[in-house]
């Protein structure tokens, strides 16, 4: 045993012994006295507990601890059931006197046995989790039924924690203590906890590397991430086993893929569910529903789904319709379908206690209700008055429940079901729920409410989903729930409950959507505009701008609040809402592709920025997000904003609205008046779009528009199928990967064929931010090549023949018609000279306001004085200064003239990026000798020559670096930088 380990375990034992009396309430694991190994697991027996480590595939390690001498039933509400087996190898080389080293492949557990403490390391030997020597795992009896379990681990400074499902407050949970107990949390705030959902899974980030921990325990659980003691984290439950899965990264997407390997993924929803949803508590009578539908169509505001909240019911009885307000629901939903609307109805779990009611009677006949300890059904109170509650943890009850749907759906024709009040909520109960001693079947092993509370909503959604499937086996179902548990993503969508019309809630709605996505639950969104209270026009405008780009996009409001439809806030806000929703529908091919990707990988549709740029965070607002990996959305979440400072992530970015190009890793100031949502596209993306429609049931005039944001190599993917049936499972879909390669004067797009889906037509290509004219287009399919014809800008008709192209002056975009997609094709675009590039000498002068250094590395912030810029080197290395963006014709201006002074650097490196070769950092620097005497000298370099002709084309960025002999504290002064024509003839 290494000396360090021996000392540590000695300290561990002494601390354990010393600490035991002080913490009388908890018992901590003592020494392991026996170890048993099987190929996949190792079991350690301690005097009054057992611990098992199990390899779940190569990348997941399960840790299980229970007091006593036997584990309970190995059962989970979260796991899919096809958990992979792994091999837990004993690493002989690392064997320790006081323990074992075990490995799943990607994860290693060092188990110290006296007392039993575990460290978990990744493949590179970095510690991911480290049991606190003093406490490690422990337990304490709470009452006759429950023994609480918990683990304490060390938490190094700088660790960030994300996930845990529906949590308000900041994205990073470090420093907070949080818990899980599904709660009807009307009007919650940033510090309200717990909320409606329990997803005890979190992702930890340390130094840009990520791993996950899933604590699979549905009891009331709690988590403390350094809230009590800055360097200690702990998690535990009030009952059940300490049963957690450590999930290897190193990237956040790796963690999510593996977590959703275990707990399942969202099934591909019907496409209509990705449209815009309009709800209120409640639209009734029927005439009001029709009026809403007609107004959407009359005003050409896109909308796919209308909702029936509880007032559609007869006395709030689930599965009934109020005959007075809705005399013929089937006719209504059919008429709405003809107007291209789908419909969703709410179904609550509280069933009115009313003999004679068919649902009550049939449930009573099979003993469907949750029971009191004396065996009688528990009676609570919800909307209908006195209610009983189905026991969804009983498979027979789920079966009975799902059988209620085929006749109901057939009779009324609604398409989707929304499950609410399923925490379960109870107006009569303690803490707005059922008493804790209520009995549940718990899938055949009867337990109290304590053990099953957190899965009630999840199991209700499961039974509802099954019901819709039974009714319409060939269609993709849509369900939505308020409460759920880990793995609930398998049963559909969810929303973030009863929020409030306030700016703070707009902010929360964005972080909560992201947090749920990080927790494996991707199809989520808030009540846009806020549920309680009333929004100002400005707030609604900002909310629909941002909310229309969330996975689930629904406006909803409480009863008694003012109207909250997109047109309720006057013509200006109506126009903003229309534009925002049109953008959602234009993005439908991209959005649908993201959903399909998510259904295979678990990577959410809406992502915190660090998920795309691991390790990047300090610059960003929590509310900014990535829609897929191409689009950066920067919602405006405060009143009165006219412009916005945005910290662009690394890379190169296009402004969605103007096509202007920006170097990433720097702040930019953009306009943000009320009608303007800051949006950026990652350079090198191809975003599949379509023309706007008012409903996904419409065929767009342009079914496929490929928006190319070129910068060197660009790519994008597209998933297509019929959008509603299950035929995709039989291979009836197309997944296409589009690419665009830009050379000096030419761009080549490759479009694969897609023959599976109907109505393909020929895509329209839109080339953004070119800055140069398109001279000619050639489309090649198989062996034939078509030469495209230019059409005049005045002709605003659709470009009809393959290869036809024109400039659209309104958007500054070049449009090109591709050929139909029944064959693969390449589109070759020849570009003319850049008329706008600087051809006459350019001389940069630096002043803070107009020509600041946009990006610098390794130096203290630049100081601008007398037209020059001065920096002090922060650390020895390779200090860099990126010059302001310029469009230069390299051919015309090959000579760089600089005046600068350095104290130690003996060389100056110059790198440049052209539109065709975007990444400055990939280019080797041209090196030029300079004089390290601290005095200003003027130098002149021929870039063309020095770069062997690669200094060519239109140049956007030039970076100066000082790689040699620079010292910390060294001062560098750059005065003029000029690009000039070649000297002499
Ligand atoms: C709950 C739901 C809300 C719904 C209302 C009436 O408050 O969270 O969305 O409108 O009940 O059904």
Mean pLDDT to the nearest integer, 720-731: 96
Q: What's the pLDDT score for residue 731?
A: 93
Q: Is the pLDDT of residue 23 over 50?
A: no
Confidence tier at 5 by pLDDT (50, 70, 90) = very low
Minimal-distance CA residue to ligand 1 atom 4: 281
pLDDT tens-digit profile of 282-292?
999 999 999 99
With a 6 Å cutoff on the Cβ, whether 309 touches ligand 1 is yes
Strand order in the sheet with 201-206: 34-37, 41-46, 49-56, 60-67, 242-247, 209-215, 201-206, 160-163
263 Cα: distance to centroid of ligand 1 (angstroms)? 28
Contact by Cβ (8 Å): 505, 498: no
634 vs 672: CA distance, rounded Å: 10
Q: What angle do CA 916, 718, 647 make, to 5 degrees?
A: 55
Mutate to test the pocket of ligand 1, among 182, 309, 422, 481 (most ligand atoms within 8 A of CB): 309
317 Cα: distance to centroid of ligand 1 (angstroms)? 15
349 vs 351: CA distance, rounded Å: 6
With a 6 Å cutoff on the Cβ, whether 871 touches ligand 1 is no
pLDDT tens-digit profile of 614-671?
988 766 789 999 999 999 999 999 999 999 999 899 888 999 999 888 878 777 889 9
Minimal-distance CA residue to ligand 1 atom 5: 281
Q: What's the pLDDT score for residue 20?
A: 38
482 Cα: distance to centroid of ligand 1 (angstroms)? 9
280 Cα: distance to centroid of ligand 1 (angstroms)? 9
How far from chain centre, in Å, is Cα 539?
Answer: 23
Catalytic residue among 420, 538, 574, 612: 420
How many DSSP H helices and E strands does the chain contain? 15, 66
538 Cα: distance to centroid of ligand 1 (angstroms)? 24
Catalytic residue among 54, 193, 286, 498: 498
281 Cα: distance to centroid of ligand 1 (angstroms)? 7
534 vs 517: CA distance, rounded Å: 28
With a 6 Å cutoff on the Cβ, whether 497 touches ligand 1 is yes
Minimal-distance CA residue to ligand 1 atom 12: 310
Mean pLDDT to the nearest integer, 254-278: 98
With a 6 Å cutoff on the Cβ, whether 420 touches ligand 1 is yes
More confident residue, 754 or 922: 754
Mean pLDDT to the nearest integer, 333-342: 98
Q: What percent of the chain has pLDDT over 90?
A: 79
Contact by Cβ (8 Å): 721, 732: yes
| Closest atom of ligand 1 to CA, residue 309 | 12
223 Cα: distance to centroid of ligand 1 (angstroms)? 29
| Closest atom of ligand 1 to CA, residue 558 | 10
Confidence tier at 1 by pLDDT (50, 70, 90) = very low
Q: What's the pLDDT score for residue 408?
A: 98
pLDDT tens-digit profile of 807-849?
998 888 999 999 999 999 999 999 998 888 899 999 988 876 6
The token pair at 47 is: 């005097």
Mutate to test the pocket of ligand 1, among 184, 527, 531, 556 (most ligand atoms within 8 A of CB): 531
| Closest atom of ligand 1 to CA, residue 348 | 12
Location of structure tokens 């275990």: 262
With a 6 Å cutoff on the Cβ, whether 218 touches ligand 1 is no
Mean pLDDT to the nearest integer, 701-716: 93
Q: Is the pLDDT of residue 751 over 80?
A: yes
Q: What's the pLDDT score for residue 760?
A: 67
The token pair at 344 is: 């969703």
Minimal-distance CA residue to ligand 1 atom 3: 498
300 Cα: distance to centroid of ligand 1 (angstroms)? 28
- Helix (H) or strand (E) holding 198, with range, is strand 197-198
With a 6 Å cutoff on the Cβ, whether 281 touches ligand 1 is yes
Q: Is the pLDDT of residue 904 over 80?
A: yes
Window from 142-146, 448-452, 911-915 with minimum mean pLDDT: 911-915
Helical H runs in 413-455?
A: 449-452
547 Cα: distance to centroid of ligand 1 (angstroms)? 19
Mutate to test the pocket of ligand 1, among 346, 348, 530, 557 (most ligand atoms within 8 A of CB): 346
921 vs 913: CA distance, rounded Å: 9
Q: What's the pLDDT score for residue 984?
A: 66
Q: What's the pLDDT score for residue 619?
A: 67
Q: What's the pLDDT score for residue 94?
A: 55
Contacts of 765 (CB under 8 A, 6+ apart): 705, 706, 708, 749, 815, 816, 817, 818, 827
Mean pLDDT to the nearest integer, 432-443: 97
Minimal-distance CA residue to ligand 1 atom 7: 498
pLDDT tens-digit profile of 561-615?
999 999 999 999 999 999 999 999 999 999 999 999 999 999 999 999 999 999 8
Among 961, 978, 975, 865, CA closest to 905: 961
With a 6 Å cutoff on the Cβ, whether 498 touches ligand 1 is yes
The structure's pTM equals 0.92
With a 6 Å cutoff on the Cβ, whether 487 touches ligand 1 is no
More confident residue, 231 or 82: 231
Q: What's the pLDDT score for residue 799?
A: 86
| Catalytic annotation present for 420 | yes
329 Cα: distance to centroid of ligand 1 (angstroms)? 21
355 vs 834: CA distance, rounded Å: 81
Q: DSSP string of 39-83?
A: SSEEEEEETTEEEEEEEETTTEEEEEEEESSS------SSS-S-P
| Closest atom of ligand 1 to CA, residue 280 | 10
pLDDT tens-digit profile of 929-944?
999 999 999 999 999 9
Q: What's the pLDDT score for residue 616?
A: 83
| Closest atom of ligand 1 to CA, residue 421 | 1
Mutate to test the pocket of ligand 1, among 383, 387, 421 (most ligand atoms within 8 A of CB): 421
Mutate to test the pocket of ligand 1, among 182, 186, 281, 316 (most ligand atoms within 8 A of CB): 281
Confidence tier at 19 by pLDDT (50, 70, 90) = very low
With a 6 Å cutoff on the Cβ, whether 311 touches ligand 1 is no
The token pair at 709 is: 């944001």
The token pair at 236 is: 């535990």
CA atoms within a 13 Å half-sphere pointing along the CA-CB vector of 391 = 28
Q: DSSP string of 894-954?
A: -EEEEEEEESS--EEEEEEEESSS--GGGSPPEEEE---SSS-EEEEEEHHHHTTT-S-SE
Q: What's the pLDDT score for residue 379?
A: 98
Window from 22-31, 147-156, 390-399, 672-681 with minimum mean pLDDT: 22-31
DSSP 253: H
Mean pLDDT to the nearest integer, 938-955: 90
Minimal-distance CA residue to ligand 1 atom 10: 281
Regarding beta strands 49-56 and 868-872, do their DSSP bridges make them parallel or antiparallel, or are they unpaired? Answer: unpaired
| Closest atom of ligand 1 to CA, residue 559 | 10
Q: What's the pLDDT score for residue 985?
A: 56
818 Cα: distance to centroid of ligand 1 (angstroms)? 48
The token pair at 680 is: 């950026």
With a 6 Å cutoff on the Cβ, whether 205 touches ligand 1 is no
Contact by Cβ (8 Å): 379, 354: no
6 Cα: distance to centroid of ligand 1 (angstroms)? 59
With a 6 Å cutoff on the Cβ, whether 310 touches ligand 1 is yes
| Closest atom of ligand 1 to CA, residue 186 | 7
With a 6 Å cutoff on the Cβ, whether 346 touches ligand 1 is yes
| Closest atom of ligand 1 to CA, residue 497 | 8
| Catalytic annotation present for 474 | no
198 Cα: distance to centroid of ligand 1 (angstroms)? 19
| Closest atom of ligand 1 to CA, residue 527 | 9
188 Cα: distance to centroid of ligand 1 (angstroms)? 14
Mean pLDDT to the nearest integer, 446-456: 98
Catalytic residue among 193, 357, 423, 917: 423
Contact by Cβ (8 Å): 394, 441: yes
pLDDT tens-digit profile of 487-504?
999 999 999 999 999 999
The token pair at 617 is: 């965070």
Q: What's the pLDDT score for residue 506?
A: 98
Confidence tier at 14 by pLDDT (50, 70, 90) = very low
CA distances from 444 to 190, 364, 391, 439, 935 (A): 38, 19, 12, 12, 85
Contact by Cβ (8 Å): 162, 148: no
With a 6 Å cutoff on the Cβ, whether 54 touches ligand 1 is no
- Helix (H) or strand (E) holding 359, with range, is helix 358-365
| Closest atom of ligand 1 to CA, residue 531 | 9
| Closest atom of ligand 1 to CA, residue 310 | 12
308 Cα: distance to centroid of ligand 1 (angstroms)? 11
């Amino acid at each position: 045993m290494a000396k360090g380990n021996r000392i540590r375990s000695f300290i561990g034992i002494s601390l354990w012994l010393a600490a035991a009396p002080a913490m009388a309430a908890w018992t901590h694991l003592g020494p392991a006295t026996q170890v048993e190994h099987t190929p996949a697991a190792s079991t350690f027996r301690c005097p009054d507990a057992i611990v098992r480590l199990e390899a779940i595939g190569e990348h997941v390690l399960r840790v299980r601890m229970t007091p006593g001498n036997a584990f309970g039933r190995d059962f989970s509400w979260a796991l899919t059931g096809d958990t992979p087996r792994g091999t837990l190898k004993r690493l002989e080389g690392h064997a320790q006197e006081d323990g074992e080293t075990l490995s799943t492949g990607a994860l290693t557990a060092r188990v110290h046995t006296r007392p039993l403490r575990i460290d978990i390391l990744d493949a590179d030997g970095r510690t991911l989790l480290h049991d606190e020597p003093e406490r490690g795992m422990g337990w304490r009896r709470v009452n006759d039924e429950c023994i609480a379990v918990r683990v304490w681990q060390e938490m190094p400074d700088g660790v960030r924690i994300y996930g845990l499902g529906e949590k308000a407050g900041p994205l990073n949970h470090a420093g907070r203590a949080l818990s899980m107990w599904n709660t009807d949390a009307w009007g919650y705030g940033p510090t309200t906890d717990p909320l409606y959902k329990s997803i005890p899974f979190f992702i930890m980030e340390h130094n840009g590397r990520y791993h996950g921990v899933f604590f699979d325990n549905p009891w009331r659980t709690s988590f403390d991430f350094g809230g009590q003691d800055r360097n200690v984290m702990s998690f535990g439950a009030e009952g059940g086993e300490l049963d957690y899965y450590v999930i290897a990264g190193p990237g956040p997407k790796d963690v999510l893929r593996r977590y959703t390997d275990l707990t399942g993924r969202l099934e591909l929803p019907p496409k209509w569910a990705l449209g815009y949803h309009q709800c209120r508590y409640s639209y009734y009578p029927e005439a009001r529903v029709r009026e809403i539908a007609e107004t959407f169509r009359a005003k050409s505001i896109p909308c796919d789904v209308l909702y029936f909240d509880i007032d559609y019911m007869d006395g709030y009885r689930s599965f009934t319709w109020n005959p007075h307000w809705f005399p013929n629901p089937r006719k209504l939903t059919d008429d709405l379908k003809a107007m291209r609307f789908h419909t969703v109805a709410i179904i609550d779990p509280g069933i009115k206690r009313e003999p004679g009611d068919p649902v009550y009677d049939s449930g009573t006949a099979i003993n469907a209700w949750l029971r009191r300890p004396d065996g009688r059904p528990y009676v609570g109170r919800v909307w209908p008055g006195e209610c009983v509650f189905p026991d969804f943890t009983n498979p027979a009850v789920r079966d009975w429940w799902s059988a209620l749907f085929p006749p109901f759906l057939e009779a009324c024709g609604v398409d989707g079901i929304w499950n609410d009040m399923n925490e379960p909520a109870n107006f009569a109960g303690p803490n707005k729920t059922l008493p804790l001693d209520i009995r549940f079947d718990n899938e055949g092993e009867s337990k109290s409410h304590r053990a099953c509370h957190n899965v009630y909503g999840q199991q209700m959604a499961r039974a509802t989903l099954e019901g819709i499937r039974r009714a319409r086996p060939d269609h993709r179902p849509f369900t939505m729930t308020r409460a759920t548990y880990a793995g609930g993503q398998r049963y559909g969508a969810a929303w973030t409950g009863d929020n409030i019309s306030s700016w703070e809630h707009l902010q929360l709605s964005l972080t909560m959507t992201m947090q749920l996505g990080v927790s494996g639950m991707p199809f989520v969104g808030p009540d846009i505009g806020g549920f309680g209270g009333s929004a100002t026009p400005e707030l609604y405008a900002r909310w629909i701008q941002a909310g229309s780009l969330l996975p689930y996009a629904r406006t909803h409001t409480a009863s008694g609040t003012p109207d909250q439809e997109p047109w309720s806030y006057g013509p200006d806000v109506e126009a903003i809402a229309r534009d925002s929703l049109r953008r959602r529908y234009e993005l439908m091919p991209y959005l649908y592709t993201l959903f399909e990707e998510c259904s295979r990988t678990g990577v959410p549709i809406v992502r915190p920025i660090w998920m795309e740029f691991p390790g990047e965070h300090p610059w960003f607002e929590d509310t900014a997000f990535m829609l897929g990996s191409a689009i950066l959305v920067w919602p405006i979440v405060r009143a009165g904003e006219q412009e916005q400072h945005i910290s662009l992530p690394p890379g190169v970015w296009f402004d969605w609205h103007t096509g202007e190009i920006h170097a990433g890793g720097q702040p930019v100031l953009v306009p943000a008046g009320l009608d303007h949502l800051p949006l950026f596209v990652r350079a090198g993306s191809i975003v599949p779009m379509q023309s706007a429609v008012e409903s996904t049931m419409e065929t767009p005039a342009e079914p496929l528009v490929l928006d190319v944001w070129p910068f060197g190599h660009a790519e994008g993917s597209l998933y297509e199928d019929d959008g509603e049936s299950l035929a995709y499972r039989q291979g009836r879909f197309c997944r296409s990967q589009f690419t665009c390669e830009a050379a000096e004067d030419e761009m080549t797009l490759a479009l694969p064929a897609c023959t599976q889906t109907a109505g393909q037509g020929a895509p329209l290509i839109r080339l953004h931010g070119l800055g140069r004219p398109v001279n000619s287009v050639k489309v090649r399919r198989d062996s034939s090549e078509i030469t495209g014809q230019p059409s005049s800008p005045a002709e605003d008709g659709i470009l009809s023949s393959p290869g036809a192209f024109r400039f659209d002056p309104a958007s500054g975009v070049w449009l090109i018609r591709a050929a139909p997609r029944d064959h693969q094709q390449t589109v070759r675009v020849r570009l003319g000279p850049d008329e706008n590039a600087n051809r006459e000498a350019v001389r940069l002068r630096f002043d803070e306001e107009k020509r600041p250094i946009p990006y610098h590395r390794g130096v203290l912030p630049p100081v601008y004085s007398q037209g020059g810029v001065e920096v002090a080197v922060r650390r020895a290395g390779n200090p860099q200064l990126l010059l302001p963006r310029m469009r230069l014709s390299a051919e015309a201006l090959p000579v760089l003239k600089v005046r600068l002074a350095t104290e130690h650097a003996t060389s100056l490196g110059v790198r440049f990026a052209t539109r065709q070769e975007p990444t400055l950092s990939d280019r080797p620097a041209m090196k030029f000798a300079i004089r390290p005497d601290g005095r200003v000298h003027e130098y002149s370099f021929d870039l063309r020559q020095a770069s062997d002709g690669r200094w060519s084309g239109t140049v956007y960025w030039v970076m100066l670096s000082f790689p040699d002999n620079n010292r910390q504290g060294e001062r560098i002064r750059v005065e003029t930088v000029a690009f000039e024509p070649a000297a002499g003839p």
